[in-house]
Structure 1
Amino acid sequence: MLIVAVGVNHRTAPVEIREKLSFLPHSLPANLKKLHHYPGIEGCAIISTCNRTEIYAVPRELDEGLHAIWNFLSEYSGLDISEIKNCTFCHTLYDSIRHLFRVSAGLDSMILGETQILGQVREAYEVALKAGTTNNVINTLFQQAIVVGKRVRTETGIDKNAVSVSYAAVELAKQKFGELNGRSVLVVGAGKMSELTAKHLVSNGVSGVIVSNRSFDRAEMLAEKFNGKAVKFEELSSHMKGADIVISSTAASHYVIRYPDIQELLNDNPGKKVMLIDIAVPRDIDPRIGELPGVSLYDIDDLQSVVDNNLAERRQAAVASESIIEDELNEFMRWLATQFVVPTIAALKKMGEEIKQKELERALNRLGDVSDRQYKVISSMANSIVKQLLHFPVVRLKEYAVTTEGHLYTEVLQNLFDLEVDGQRPKKKEPPKQIDLSAWVSEEEYYRSKGQNGGASLEKNY
């Protein structure tokens, strides 16, 4: 059985191409069904994210399947097939399976080891399953890919170390406070970096969010996203006493959090511990504040250092991840190989059952009336004969299925027993070659030609 993967990602195509080949979530079911209706496509699923669009399909024939996918993408996007071929990758069998496993594990992402892609693979499978466009191979492939993604993250911890500046701030906060549940954060500045950092902190347990910005309207908009409250910029220092973590990322050309303000805060609140994270360039927080007791101050270079160290650890985890993927790939290929012989085995058993029933019925008709015990004995014997005759051919075929000659043994068995196998195109059976015996000589003639008494000895022997 064939598996193909055709798609675009951030490595193969620019954004103007990727956006034409992307699918909105609400349009996926209809487009999946459209692809599934193309001749030769037995099952399919589509992963579509901001950075990738990938089609996984099981075609009856490789060329037929690839042309169906390219035609489908061309019809959907309005791009020429030649243009689509130039910007898409195409993987078959081993490579397509390995690619999906690597995608699910986060090894093919812009951010190595990202967690979000695993949920996107699961969602793509669920959409295809609900749309009715999967088959047994697609089902097993995606289920196994999800297992691989989970296993890689569990065994290697590839997603445990932050590789973005905004999430590095969360990691440092966890190191200082342990659990962040019940902690509060004061966000100074309402830009994208401030929002991302606040988002990561809230998702990790921070419950109170205060936002301060020179534009109060923007502060209110950001605070609303986290069910927090906005405060005026000139009241910033008075609200610091209620914050465990302060994140500052403004475009100011001077310090917005000054040494005297924090010194006064600590004097008024003995024993207070506060974490200050300065993501701005130029810096928002006076670096002398880091010398005050109870204060932990980190700037953008500190955060980048954390990111660099964590990225190195993720690269090491990626090496171990590749080994896991190869193990899972080999296991899946063994399963896939046996799937090719399953219809042949089923056809062989069906033939054996039909012969058994036919001959059993004929024998019972000849015997006339037989007792229940006699019927059971005869029936049991017929079952046993068929099972024993077919046992070793079935076992051997399963063993050969995982070798490079598996297809050959399957076709030989089909031809030997003249099996019609559902879902597989019958091979044209060539008549056996006739052996020309005219050129052969008998043993007796051979000995006579050598002047030996072969004939007399042959008469004695035969």
Structure 2
Amino acid sequence: MKILLYGVSHKTTPIEIRENYTIEEKKLPEQLAEIKSFLGVEEAVILSTCNRIEYYLYIDQTKFMHGEMLRYLSDHTGYEISEVISTSYGKSNYEAAEHLFKVATGLDSLIIGETQILSQVKQAFAVAIEQKTSGPILNSLFNKAISFSKKMHTKTNLDQLSYNPGTAAVKLYKEEWESIVDKRFLLIGSGKMVRLTAKTLFYQGSTHITLTGRNEQKVNDLAHELNLWAQTTRHSDVLNRYFFTADFDHLPMSIAVADGVIAATKAPYHLITEKTIEEMAAIRLTMKKQLFMDFAVPRNIEPSIQYIEGIQVFDMDQISFRLEEVDSDKEKIVRKITTNLNEEVAAFKQWYQERNAVPYLDELNEHMLELKEKTLTSLERKLPELTAHQILLINKHMHSMINQMKRKPIESLKEYARKNTSKESKNELELFAKALGISVGSEETEQPAEVLVAESQGISVETTNKTI
């Protein structure tokens, strides 16, 4: 048995290729059912976002055919199988587990530490649970990854991390206002920096972001792209607008209604001047402080406006200083999270390996219970004067004694199971089990019995499997 991962992401595959792997949300159940029907596939979960499409499978290696999955992806994308191999990546067992932990925590995201991916992982898991394609192994893996991500976001400032000036700018805004949910932002430009900053603002809770620029068509196209992205990110069937556009010819009016202004264009001159601010002041109805960020070099904002009351301006030198602080924070936080992540993956690895001992543990438990029942029946027959209360006490003490007797054999069985998955190790496990009087063969190995709660969007989903 093996955990497999097939995927593409923004880290490995450009968007023009990645978009061909995209899965429409309404077709996810259909794809899950089709993949689950492949020979040897025991469990399946599909994670589909704007930046990645990943297939998590739990398979029986003796039955599963790798080529069948590649042909399926070939049919879905329109690529030749050789192209699927060259454009996608694959991972197995603990590498796949480690990858999911990083994905759920936001360490593998375009914006490091963003929290939206966690809800997307939960949603993917919920769909698999609903379609009954996930089971004990992937349930455990996804539950642990989701729980770990929540813990890391609670204990660290992970969601404030990134590698772009937009993050430093947002950090400055949050230092000034604590929350930016009710603030209005004006972004001037239509390039990559504006796109990243707009997404960072959105991730941090801003819902009213206006774009403007000298090229009206580019601005409109970017706003449309961002609104579609936001709709996909929020998994909404209703197209809510979070990104708006404004006429660049009326720049003073756009600035007047903004709390934060960010300029990031290639214009070799000042777009916002003292005159612009004078015209804005005549329109603006409040004297609330405004924060201006200038990402451009040469600068788009005339430096002298920082001396106007109620206005604070940060240029790239100042923002870069804050970005260094963010990078410093990032390094410390990511190092801490990685240490914790390695521990969590090691714990999952141990749990996964101990599954090999499950049939022997079940047999041992059944043998002990059978022995207890026979002994109790014999006592009741030979000592008919025993009261119900006395029998209950005897049963309780026998149960405690059995648990103590089982402890060492259970630890030893799990230890043998943890050694490795080689045939020699399995033989050692089987020989030890036989020495205990347990005759379960490796061919009779069953799924580990466990009760797992799949937490997704507030819905608790339980399987009827047992735990080791």
**Do the structures match in fold with TM over 0.5?**
yes
- What does 1:19-168 correspond to in 2, within 5 Å? 19-61=19-61, 64=64, 66-67=66-67, 69-168=69-168
How many correspondences in the alignment?
A: 423
Instruction: Report if aligned partners of 2:210, 2:243 keep a CA contact under 8 Å in 1.
Output: no
Against the structure 1 CA distance between its residues 5 and 423, is the aligned structure 2 distance closer, same or farther, given a 3 Å change threshold?
Answer: farther
Bigger shift: residues 246-255 or 99-108: 246-255
The equivalent residue for 2:358 is 342
2:345 is equivalent to residue 329 of structure 1: yes
Bigger shift: residues 164-173 or 268-277: 268-277
Q: Could you report, residue by residue, the CA deviation over 1:4-59 in whole angstroms, capped at 9, with x for unpaired residues?
A: 22323344445454334332222222111221122222212122233333222222
CA RMSD of aligned residues (A): 4.6
Against the structure 1 CA distance between its residues 121 and 353, is the aligned structure 2 distance closer, same or farther, given a 3 Å change threshold?
Answer: same
Against the structure 1 CA distance between its residues 199 and 82, is the aligned structure 2 distance closer, same or farther, given a 3 Å change threshold?
Answer: closer
Instruction: Report if aligned partners of 2:118, 2:146 keep a CA contact under 8 Å in 1.
Output: yes
The equivalent residue for 1:259 is 274
| Counterpart code for 2:326 | N
User: For residues 344 and 182 of structure 1, what CA distance do their matches in structure 2 show?
Assistant: 59
Partner SS for 2:113: coil
| Percent identity of equivalent pairs | 29
Kindly state the Cα deviation for residue 101 of structure 1 after the two structures are TM-superposed: 1.6
Instruction: Report if aligned partners of 1:41, 1:65 keep a CA contact under 8 Å in 2.
Output: no
User: For residues 78 and 185 of structure 1, what CA distance do their matches in structure 2 show?
Assistant: 41
- What does 1:306-325 correspond to in 2, within 5 Å? 306-325=322-341
| TM-score (structure 2 length as normaliser) | 0.71
Q: Could you report, residue by residue, the CA deviation over 1:107-143 in whole angstroms, capped at 9, with x for unpaired residues?
A: 3334433333222222221121111111111101011
| Counterpart code for 1:97 | A
User: For residues 254 and 229 of structure 1, what CA distance do their matches in structure 2 show?
Assistant: 22
Instruction: Report if aligned partners of 2:160, 2:167 keep a CA contact under 8 Å in 1.
Output: no
| Counterpart code for 2:306 | G
Partner SS for 1:47: strand
Kindly state the Cα deviation for residue 147 of structure 1 after the two structures are TM-superposed: 2.0
Partner SS for 1:225: coil
| Counterpart code for 1:340 | N
The equivalent residue for 2:410 is 394
Against the structure 1 CA distance between its residues 418 and 273, is the aligned structure 2 distance closer, same or farther, given a 3 Å change threshold?
Answer: closer
Against the structure 1 CA distance between its residues 266 and 380, is the aligned structure 2 distance closer, same or farther, given a 3 Å change threshold?
Answer: closer
Bigger shift: residues 138-147 or 179-188: 179-188
Instruction: Report if aligned partners of 1:263, 1:292 keep a CA contact under 8 Å in 2.
Output: no
The equivalent residue for 2:439 is 419
User: For residues 178 and 354 of structure 2, what CA distance do their matches in structure 1 show?
Assistant: 50
Kindly state the Cα deviation for residue 144 of structure 1 after the two structures are TM-superposed: 0.7
User: For residues 408 and 336 of structure 2, what CA distance do their matches in structure 1 show?
Assistant: 40
Structure with more relative contact order (C-alpha pairs < 8 Å, separation 6 or more)? 2
User: For residues 199 and 387 of structure 1, what CA distance do their matches in structure 2 show?
Assistant: 56
| Counterpart code for 2:337 | S
Kindly state the Cα deviation for residue 97 of structure 1 after the two structures are TM-superposed: 1.6
The equivalent residue for 2:252 is 237
Kindly state the Cα deviation for residue 322 of structure 1 after the two structures are TM-superposed: 1.7
| Counterpart code for 1:326 | N
Against the structure 1 CA distance between its residues 257 and 20, is the aligned structure 2 distance closer, same or farther, given a 3 Å change threshold?
Answer: closer
The equivalent residue for 1:410 is 429
| Counterpart code for 2:32 | L
User: For residues 261 and 80 of structure 1, what CA distance do their matches in structure 2 show?
Assistant: 56
User: For residues 243 and 53 of structure 2, what CA distance do their matches in structure 1 show?
Assistant: 35
2:311 is equivalent to residue 295 of structure 1: yes
User: For residues 144 and 357 of structure 2, what CA distance do their matches in structure 1 show?
Assistant: 21
Instruction: Report if aligned partners of 1:189, 1:248 keep a CA contact under 8 Å in 2.
Output: yes
Kindly state the Cα deviation for residue 214 of structure 1 after the two structures are TM-superposed: 6.8
Against the structure 1 CA distance between its residues 228 and 293, is the aligned structure 2 distance closer, same or farther, given a 3 Å change threshold?
Answer: same
User: For residues 158 and 58 of structure 2, what CA distance do their matches in structure 1 show?
Assistant: 31
User: For residues 293 and 225 of structure 1, what CA distance do their matches in structure 2 show?
Assistant: 33
User: For residues 199 and 75 of structure 1, what CA distance do their matches in structure 2 show?
Assistant: 33
Against the structure 1 CA distance between its residues 143 and 197, is the aligned structure 2 distance closer, same or farther, given a 3 Å change threshold?
Answer: same
Q: Could you report, residue by residue, the CA deviation over 1:306-361 in whole angstroms, capped at 9, with x for unpaired residues?
A: 44542343234222222111111122222223322122211233345557767988
Against the structure 1 CA distance between its residues 206 and 140, is the aligned structure 2 distance closer, same or farther, given a 3 Å change threshold?
Answer: closer
Instruction: Report if aligned partners of 1:47, 1:120 keep a CA contact under 8 Å in 2.
Output: yes
- What does 1:182-201 correspond to in 2, within 5 Å? 183-186=183-186, 197=197, 201=201
| Counterpart code for 2:35 | L
Against the structure 1 CA distance between its residues 145 and 355, is the aligned structure 2 distance closer, same or farther, given a 3 Å change threshold?
Answer: same
Which structure has the larger Rg? 1
For structure 2, list consecutive stretches of 5 or more residues without a partner in the other structure: 225-239, 447-468
| Counterpart code for 1:411 | E
Partner SS for 2:42: strand
